[in-house]
Structures are given as C-alpha cells and as structure tokens.
Amino acid sequence: MKKLTIIPAAVLAALAMASCNDSGHEEPGKAEAAKGDSVVNDKYLSQPLVSHIYTADPSAHVFNGRIYVYPSHDTATGTPENDNGDHFNMMDYHILSMDSVGGTVTDHGVALSVKDIPWGGRQLWAPDAAFKDGTYYLYFPLKDKQDVFRIGVATSNKPEGPFTAEKEPIKGSYSMDPTVFKDDDGSYYMYFGGIWGGQLQRWNNNKYDSAGKLRQGDELAVLPRIARLSADMKSFAEPVREIKLVDSAGNLFKEKENDKRFFEAAWMHKYNGKYYFSYSTGDSHNLAYAIGDNPYGPFKYQGIILYPVEGWTNHHSIIEKDGKWYLFYHDVQLSGKTHLRNVKVTELKYDADGKIIPIRAQK
Ligand code: FUB
C-alpha cells in the first residue's frame, strides 16, 4: 500500500509541456465560453490524484465516510492505436481512496487482474462498484475469449479489494462502461454501453451481430442500456432495455448530433429527486447530461457538464461528500498520450433551477 500526495502544479505543467500530444482534437479552451459557464483560466482545472501510475475512467463512491475511486489502470503495452481502442489494453485495477477531496490519496495496489478472471480475454475497461449487505461488488467490462465485450462482477468484503471474479460474465450483459446506481427504495440499476470499440452498435434487441455497423449521420443514434439488478447483485432481474435520450422537443438524437448523442461513460446520480443521466459524447469529447423522472427515463438533454479536456476520451463520475458535489474526470496531463490518462477531481455546482453549471478549462 503506498501513501501518495498530490504533486505540485509546476512539476506537472513542465512534464506536460515536455511531452507530445497525440489526442488529435481541438485543445481545451479554444471555443468561446458561454454566459453562465464556470471558466477556469488554466489549461488544467485540477491536478492528477496520483502520478506513479496512469489512471482513467474514475468511478467514485463514498463508503464508510471515505471516498473510494474505481479507475481503469492505463498501461503502455505498445498495442497500436485504432478506432476500436485496442491501445487501451489494460490488465488490472488499482483502487484509490482518500478521506476528503484534497486529502492524501492511497493506492491500495492490485485489486483484480485479468489473469484471475476465468472467462477473460483482453482489455479491462472502465469499472464501477456498489455495496450491499456487507459485500462490495466490482463491475467491469472485459472482452471474452471470442473478443466480445461482456460485463463481469467480482466481490470483496473490503471496498478496496482484493476482489474475486465470478466464473462467468453477467448473463445477458454486453458492451462496456457499466455503472451501478442505488435508488432510494433500495433497487440497484446497471447502466451500460458504448459505441465504436465498445461494440454497442453490434447489439440490436439484445442480439449480437458481429457485422453491426455504426449508424450513419441521419440515422437515430445508438441508445444506452439499463437493467435492474437481481437481489444477488450478480445477475439482471429483467431483460436489458434501451434508454431514451431526447432533445428539448422530445426527439431522439440522430447520429450526426454527435456533440449531444450518447457515446459511452454512463453515470447516474440523483439531485433534488430528479434522475441525472450523464455520459460522454465521445468523438466530440463533451461530458453531457439529461434529466428524467425515474431510473428508466426518458431523459431530456440539458447541456454540457465539462467541455473537452486534453486527450481523446472523457469519462467521469459525480458524488456528494460533506455537502459539496464533485466531478471526477480524467485528462492526459502527465503523458500527453490518449491511452495514458490521469484521474482528477473538481467541484461541481448547480444553479437555483438544478441545472449543472458547465465547467470549461480555458488557457
Ligand atoms: O478506458 C477505456 C475506455 O475509454 C473506457 O471504457 C471509455 O469510457 C473510455 O474512457
């Protein structure tokens, strides 16, 4: 177990400047800020939580009064970069924890490794965690031996693990980026899915078609998925269904509306009794959100939470701790490379109407 402190901004800035950026999209802060945005006059909103390993896709939770972050563990394996994300070739998970935002961050070491997952093939992508009746559950996407993404579950009696994986993936699960939300009535729901390398475009009516194509611009965008979890937390209690994500007129987004449509990285939180479904728009690099009246939606698009940061991917989680709300996210400040990311956290604020105030890093 290693105790780590946040490293000085000046050191990180120097590191970032010395490295090349292969993110292939507009640098953060180039677009004009809109009225009402929360603008941070720095290329970086905040500093990496840890710098001894690369971490991404932070799913944060408060367990026993402490913040636990369940990230991907990015590794340089030399796998060439492509649109399927083969370069995100992760082998294990490390859980991070801290008493409070800004406090000392602990890396609890390897919590689960791909070699210990009996059904596993390759690529341990963005995980999430949940707690029920004394057991912690780690949910993770991984390609099976046929190279099809499935969602697995592993258990532990400690939030930081180590976790023991079930022998098979969750029956009926597919694609990636699972997140598990506990509603106030004690029901747990899994939201999941992601297009491109996440393979969601290959799934229609819960059936796999290896030739499934990405949608064309005028076609309706692929929708994220939901299923309520069974009491055992290791299976779906119902068939997987699509979640309707709609614009202010109630229309589903088309694929060409790629600055708003769902791509990956689902997260659910509740604020003032409303359900906030947030996600990444992927190839347009926004974190966006939509609001609904129940866990299944429909969810009406509201706007952007976080404008593009340095790097191709954008993936987040939202938690409340000690009366403040926080956005955990990642960028590539430490490496300048798409697949070697670092997790961060910044405060999240709402306006009086419950709208999230968009955050924009601006040089
Ligand atoms: O970390 C691998 C993939 O990149 C995640 O599953 C996506 O959300 C994106 O962040």
The per-residue pLDDT for 8 is 37
Report the SS3 class of residue 62: strand
Q: How many CA atoms lie within 13 A of 160 on its CB side?
A: 16
Closest residue by Cα to residue 269 from 157, 150, 350, 361: 350
Reduced to 3 states (helix: H, G, I; strand: E, B; else coil), residue 206 is coil
pTM for this prediction = 0.91
Pocket of ligand 1 (CB under 6 A): 56-57, 72, 85, 88, 125-126, 176-177, 194, 264-265, 313, 315
Q: Which of 23, 25, 59, 88 is the pocket-test mutation for ligand 1 (most atoms within 8 Å of CB)?
A: 88
Distance 84 CA to ligand 1 centre (A): 11
Residue 180, C-beta contacts closer than 8 angstroms, at least 6 positions apart? 128, 129, 130, 137, 139, 188, 189, 190, 191, 229
**Domains parsed from the chain with CATH numbers:** 2-348 (2.115.10.20)
Q: State both tokens at 268.
A: 């659910």
With 80 as the cut, is the pLDDT of residue 187 above it?
yes
Summarised one tens digit per residue, pLDDT across range 161-185 is 999 999 999 999 999 999 999 999 9
> How close is the Cα of 352 to the center of ligand 1, in Å?
32
Between 228 and 12, where is the model more confident?
228
Instruction: Tell me which of 333 and 33 has the higher pLDDT.
Output: 333
Q: What pLDDT, on the 0 to 100 scale, is given for residue 43?
A: 83
* Gap from CA of 308 to ligand 1 centroid (Å): 15
Phi and psi dihedrals of 168, rounded to 5? -130, 160
Average pLDDT over residues 198-206: 98
pLDDT, mean of residues 240-266:
98
What is the percent of the chain where pLDDT is above 70? 91
Q: What does the pLDDT look like over 294-325, one tens digit per residue?
A: 999 999 999 999 999 999 999 999 999 999 99
In DSSP notation, 125-194 reads ---EEEEETTEEEEEEEEEBTTS-EEEEEEEESSTT---EE-SSPPTT--SS--EEEE-TTS-EEEEE--
Of 333, 330, 348, whose CA–CA distance to 72 is shortest? Answer: 330
User: pLDDT band for position 10 (50/70/90)?
Assistant: very low
Q: 268, 259 in Cβ contact below 8 A?
A: no
List residues with catalytic annotation.
Answer: 57, 264
pLDDT at position 362: 73
Instruction: State the pLDDT at residue 32.
Output: 61
Looking at the predicted structure, is the pLDDT value of residue 125 above 80? Answer: yes
Tell me what pLDDT residue 363 has: 58
The confidence score (pLDDT) of residue 41 equals 73
Q: If you average pLDDT over every residue of the chain, what do you get?
A: 92
Predicted confidence at residue 40, as pLDDT, reads 77
Tracing tokens 């997987």 back to the chain, one arrives at 240
Q: Which tens digit of pLDDT belongs to each residue from 64-101? A: 999 999 999 999 999 999 999 999 999 999 999 999 99
Q: In which band, very low, low, confident or very high, does the pLDDT at 31 lie, cut at 50, 70 and 90? A: low
Name the more confident of 7 and 247: 247
The two three-digit tokens of residue 304, written as one number: 């952007």
Q: 99: which DSSP letter? A: S
The pLDDT of residue 20 is above 60: no
